[in-house]
Structures are given as structure tokens and as C-alpha cells.
Amino acid sequence: MGTTVGNVLISYDINKLHSSVKAALENLGYYDYFKIENDTKKYLLPNTTLWHPTKSSDQAMSDLKSVCRNLQVALEKAVAVKATEFVGI
């Protein structure tokens, strides 16, 4: 289903170890911010939302499940979507 590789946005709810899960995903190349072309400002994403420039939504969900399993964290809900354009405040 989610096999197209490109920018993917993933958002999740977990029961504990929020910082550890986020750090593990960042170690896999996920970002908690984005930049807009010709703008030096970093736009921070909501707390448990990250993006990756070269993953599919299936790969992102698999990464999240693996990180949660390894840290013994309950993944309560999550969504991963292809993201082709970012706008923020």
C-alpha cells in the first residue's frame, strides 16, 4: 500500500519513553523539523511527529514498530503518509 519512496510524515502516540523513541527514530534519519526553500528558519513539528526524506509510509511504520518493540514501548496509534509539500508556523 504505502510503497512510494519520498518524503514521509509519521505521527504516533506511545505510552512512555517519548524522548527515547524520538531519539531512536532520529538515529534512523528522521527529522523533527523542516525548512522551507529560501528560508533559514527551522519549523518544528509537533512532539511525536517526524518526517524522513527517503522512506515509504510502510517503511516508516515498520521503523516505528521496531523502535517501540526494542524499547518495550506500547504503540497506541500511528499514521504515516506521503508528504509532498510542507507549510508551517
Q: What is the CATH number of the domain that holds 43?
A: 3.30.70.2360
Low-confidence residues of the chain: pLDDT under 70: 1-3
Residue 80's pLDDT is: 95
Domain-located, residue 88: no
> Could you tell me the residue range of the domain that residue 54 belongs to?
6-82
Quote the pTM value.
Answer: 0.89
Among candidate residues 85, 89, 83, the one with its CA nearest the CA of residue 9? 83
Residue 73's pLDDT is: 98
Distances (CA, A) of 48 to 12, 37, 39: 6, 24, 24
Domain-located, residue 69: yes
Per the structure, the count of domains in the chain is: 1
Domain-located, residue 66: yes
Residue 4's pLDDT is: 72
Residue 85's pLDDT is: 77
Q: What dihedral do alpha carbons 51, 49, 56, 43 form, nearest 10°?
A: -20
Residue 59's pLDDT is: 96
Distances (CA, A) of 12 to 30, 49, 56, 67: 13, 7, 16, 12
Domain-located, residue 19: yes
Residue 56's pLDDT is: 94
Residue 12's pLDDT is: 98
